[in-house]
Amino acid sequence: MHWWASISGIVLIFAILMDAFETVVLPRRVRRTFRIASFFYKNTWGFWTRVGLHIKSVNRREGFLAYFGPLSLIVLLFFWAGGLIFGFACVQYGFGEHVSLGSEKITFWKVLYLSGETFFTLGYGDVTPNNYAARILSVLEAGMGFAFLGVVVGYLPVIYNSFNTREIEISLLDARAGSPPTAAEFLGRLGCCPEQTVLDEIFRDWERWCADLLSSHISYPVLVFFRSQHPNQSWLSAVTAMLDVSSLIITGVDGIHPEQAKLTFAMARHAVVDLAQVVNAQYSPHDAARLSVEELRRLRAHLVEHGVNFYDGADAPERIAALRVMYEPYLFALSRRLLMTLPPWIHPENRKDNWQSGPWDRAIQARALEHPGHAASAAADDHF
């Protein structure tokens, strides 16, 4: 009897079951040095990004990178299934005493075939175990196959439900803060209605969103790789915009109390710090500052133009820099690791939001010029 094969198979089965449990069931980050899922994502994402960097078109590159999350999830499930089948085959091979129709010689490959048909509960009966230990093992493997199917059926809906919940708020941010979202657009568009209750409710919603982001993406790390529907949107750009906005409020905006903004800032920073560890992002001391002195002047002028008076004391740059240094290094690390572009504090020029763009716009505008009676539809953007 090949006891070495059985021992190897038991170790492999245990390792895969533990990895699947930690990935699918355990709702917290595991800090062990080596994990199968972490090793899988580290190497496959590295290869995927190297290929993606050769794609020059931004839209095509984003489309290519968007395949990784769902595809890696399916491949990982098949990897676990294949590992379990191979592990059970090793154990069966060590137990020995199998019978094959036609009295063919029993080889490891025939035992592997038996393991596969048992795991997927096919049960052709052309290769059968011939002792109690091997029969019990076949029953256990068949039960494992049913359990694996249950995991797949239950796991995928949870993943996509969490993804959809995340994307709803990102889509809503489009009209509120631009595409991609920026702090300047967010506060500028709310300048006409700076009521404390309005801002506090918005910040409270985003505090909950950041908490849900942290909880769901630690429980299901594959969600980190799921990209948004538009190339200029992402969960990273959304949380960046909220950190920037809350930093401005905390630094000082006339007529706005910063209490709720501080809570939102704390939750958002907590999310980016923990998620940077989840994806093994690396710190770099060479990251350039996102907000230069000149951009800060432009930002202040933009806000004043929209009725928002930002604190203009001599220590304003230092006060906002003290907040930025708490989160920007983690944002840069996540941006490099995930190939997601960070939004600026203020756009260098006016640009349309995603909701303002459509494939028929040029034709509609051309028709409006030919028929002035339809010009109102072409000028609708002027109202926003």
pLDDT in tens, the chain (384 residues): 577 778 888 899 899 988 888 887 776 677 666 788 888 888 899 999 999 999 988 889 999 999 999 999 889 989 999 999 999 888 888 776 666 666 667 778 888 888 888 888 777 767 777 778 778 888 888 888 888 888 877 888 889 999 999 999 999 888 888 888 999 999 888 875 567 888 889 999 999 999 999 999 988 889 999 999 888 899 999 999 999 999 999 999 888 889 999 999 999 999 999 999 988 899 998 888 888 888 888 988 888 888 888 888 888 889 999 999 999 999 999 999 999 999 999 988 887 887 888 778 777 777 777 766 554 444 455 555
Q: Tell which of 130, 153, 176 closes a domain.
A: 153
CB atoms within 10 A of CB 82: 13
With beta carbons less than 8 A apart as the criterion, state whether 246 and 261 touch.
yes
- Rounded Cα distance, 1 and 5, in Å: 9
Residue 382 lies in a domain: no
User: Encoding tokens for residue 280?
Assistant: 């093994």
Q: Could you tell me if 303 and 326 lie in one domain?
A: yes
Q: Which amino acid is at 352?
A: K
Q: What is the pLDDT of residue 192?
A: 57
Residue 375 lies in a domain: no
CB atoms within 10 A of CB 328: 21
Q: Could you tell me if 26 and 123 lie in one domain?
A: yes
Which residues are registered as beta bridge partners of 127? 100
Mark residue 131 as left, alpha or beta (left: phi above 0; alpha: psi -120 to 50; beta: remaining): beta
Q: Could you tell me if 265 and 311 lie in one domain?
A: yes
Q: Could you tell me if 167 and 270 lie in one domain?
A: yes
The residues near 357 (Cβ < 8 Å, ≥ 6 apart) are none
Range of the domain at 300: 163-356
Q: Could you tell me if 133 and 189 lie in one domain?
A: no
Residue 377 lies in a domain: no
Residue 185 lies in a domain: yes
**End-to-end distance of the chain based on CA atoms, in angstroms?**
78
Residue 158 lies in a domain: no
Specify the DSSP class assigned to residue 22. Answer: I
Specify the DSSP class assigned to residue 290. Answer: S
Q: Could you tell me if 178 and 63 lie in one domain?
A: no
- Rounded Cα distance, 28 and 344, in Å: 32
CB atoms within 10 A of CB 288: 6
Q: Could you tell me if 54 and 10 lie in one domain?
A: yes
Among residues 26, 51, 23, 48, which one has the least CA distance to residue 38?
23
Q: Hey, what's the torsion of the CAs at 189, 195, 197, 201, to 10 degrees?
A: 10
Q: What is the pLDDT of residue 193?
A: 58
The residues near 273 (Cβ < 8 Å, ≥ 6 apart) are 327, 330
Q: Could you tell me if 227 and 343 lie in one domain?
A: yes
Q: Tell which of 110, 131, 153 closes a domain.
A: 153
Q: Could you tell me if 128 and 248 lie in one domain?
A: no
Q: Could you tell me if 262 and 343 lie in one domain?
A: yes
Q: Could you tell me if 146 and 200 lie in one domain?
A: no
Residue 239 lies in a domain: yes
Residue 376 lies in a domain: no
Residue 319 lies in a domain: yes
Domain count, the chain: 2
Q: Which amino acid is at 66?
A: A
Which residue has tokens 């154990």?
Answer: 91
Q: Could you tell me if 81 and 195 lie in one domain?
A: no
Length of the chain: 384
